[in-house]
Amino acid sequence: MKIVVREPQNEEEQLQMKELLYEVCINEKNWPAEKVIEGYKESEIDLIAINGNEIAGVLKIVFDSPKGLPITKTEAFPEVDIHSNGAFPVEIALTVINKPYRGKTKVLLSLFKGMHQTLKAKNSSTNMYAILEREIYNLYHFYGFKFEKLNEGKHYWNGWSYPCVLNLEEGMEYLKMNKPRIYEFFKGDGEL
């Protein structure tokens, strides 16, 4: 399986990406995610993981703007302060894996590698925010993405969730020390 991560290149890929987001977020997970899927076009980057002609996954990154980040717009976590330190705030607003690719480590890690390269090019002192369901939080930790919980969480959308943050530089340093194979993959020197 050869996974390529990039932004959608044409209307067909945009449509396939949006269909996958709606299928997983709305139809399967029953998340009220329409505003996140549709609402941040001027301050977002969508990354797609492609295997051949099929979209294997999507990662939506939203940059801070006058409109704010989705995490700051939710009533569930009003205490989250994305400007509490000098780092550049972004949000991993949605991460979706197409059903045939679930459980395939390479898809998720490839999306995160693409995100890392995108964010590093913008500002290496980046804080990545996300609202993570308990299972996703645990999965990210398993792979070495040590998101820090900002509070004890609560039921949000479709399960117990936590507002979390991960500093890009600190995250890479953790991978280097504790998950060298994943670190080398991120640096472009290794395979999974």
> What is the pLDDT averaged over residues 61-89?
81
Other Cβ atoms within 10 Å of 166 Cβ, number? 18
Number of domains in the chain: 1
* 44 assigned to some structural domain: yes
pLDDT digits (tens, 9 = 90+) for 138-187: 999 999 999 999 999 999 888 899 999 999 899 999 999 999 999 999 98
* 150 assigned to some structural domain: yes
Q: What is the extent of the structural domain holding 66?
A: 3-187
pLDDT at 37: 76
Q: CA nearest 143: which of 154, 132, 152, 153?
A: 132
* 79 assigned to some structural domain: yes
* 112 assigned to some structural domain: yes
User: What are 50's strand-pairing partners?
Assistant: 4, 55
* 137 assigned to some structural domain: yes
**What contacts 60, CB < 8 A, 6 or more positions away?**
21, 36, 37, 40, 44, 45, 46, 47, 92, 93, 94, 95
Write down the mean pLDDT value for the chain.
89
Q: Are 142 and 122 in contact (CB under 8 A)?
A: no
Q: How many CA atoms lie within 13 A of 96 on its CB side?
A: 28
User: What are 63's strand-pairing partners?
Assistant: 90
Q: Return the axis-axis angle of helices 168-178 and 105-122, rounded to nearest 10°.
A: 130
* 192 assigned to some structural domain: no
Beta strands 54-63; 44-51: pairing state = antiparallel
CATH number at residue 108: 3.40.630.30
pLDDT digits (tens, 9 = 90+) for 117-136: 998 888 767 899 999 999 99
